[in-house]
Amino acid sequence: MEVRKVAVLGSGLMGHGIAQVAAQVARYEVGLRDVKQEFLDKGMEMIRYSLERFLKKGVISDRETKEILGRIRPTLDLEEALADADLIIEAVPENAQLKKSILAEVDKLAKEEAIITSNTSSISITELASALRRPEKFCGMHFFNPPQLMKLIEIIRGTRTSDETVNTIVDVAKRMGKEAVVVKKDCPGFVVNRVLVPALNEALYLLWEGIADRDDIDKAIQLGLNWPMGPMKLLDYVGLDTTLAIAEVLEKELDPKYRPCPLLRQMVRAGLLGRKTGRGLYDWTEEK
């Protein structure tokens, strides 16, 4: 199946970046849909900001910037976003019921041959597929933050995902300039978050238990394990709410040993979610 038009549902932290990559690198026509105009405006503002940075670095020209923006059509109308879309990428918040509700609506409106994917970072693909009449045309397509820069896409099979669907998404990932890994068996956290989130959670326990200060934990892991940034800073980039959501899935679906650190729950309750809110484990207000 050839993909010409992509619909991205959600213009937030991940959605706007996915839309940009689809339009900039893969040169797809993109329908970008959200539920409020302010969300769409913010998403488009972030895309323009990102493109300006590429422009300043000489990666793209002024003409290409205009062409990329011309390929992205923001809309509040789901039916308009899905019209003629060959590939749909759901990128709404990490909540299973919300995602299933959106996917069920998409299933009614999308053309029969369209492939539907979810950018979920932890929720069962088989569970999400239960909202669809065509589970064979559904899979996980997990981008990493920020999608404009991170090279990996995890492609996750559900129990009934077809080979054709997986192969098509592998081709789409290549066209987007990404490296793809296929997760052969639907499991919580997939590959990256199955390894990463317990590590981030354990780093928070070190802070919670007073074993080391924030900066020393970051320095130890950055220099000792050669991470590009420490776990505390990475938590702020990922989002503490997203990390908590994944940890809760791992705890529920796999083992109680994945129990989220109390500090993580406290910070999410306090709205200290990281870079996106201006404060988390670090203060980002000056950057914002």
Active site residue 95: no
pLDDT tens, residue by residue, 62-99: 999 999 999 999 999 999 999 999 999 999 988 899 99
| Catalytic-role residue among 16, 50, 142, 248 | 142
Residues 6+ apart with CB under 8 A from 249: 122, 123, 188, 189
What CA dihedral angle connects 119, 124, 129 and 131, to 10 degrees?
Answer: -100
Number of alpha carbons in the 13 Å side-chain half-sphere of residue 114: 25
Conformational region of residue 213, where left means phi above 0, alpha means psi within -120 to 50, and beta covers everything else = beta
Cα–Cα distance for residue pair 128/108, rounded to 1 Å: 15
The full set of domains in the chain, from first to last, is 5-183 (3.40.50.720), 195-277 (1.10.1040.10)
| Catalytic-role residue among 119, 193, 201, 248 | 193
Q: Encoding tokens for residue 75?
A: 């809309």
Active site residue 122: no
> Which pLDDT does position 286 carry in this prediction?
81
> Which pLDDT does position 13 carry in this prediction?
86
Q: How confident is the model at residue 288 (pLDDT cuts 50, 70, 90)?
A: low
pLDDT tens, residue by residue, 56-67: 999 999 999 999
Question: What's the DSSP call for residue 248?
Answer: H
**Tokens 């201006």 label which residue?**
278
Active site residue 101: no
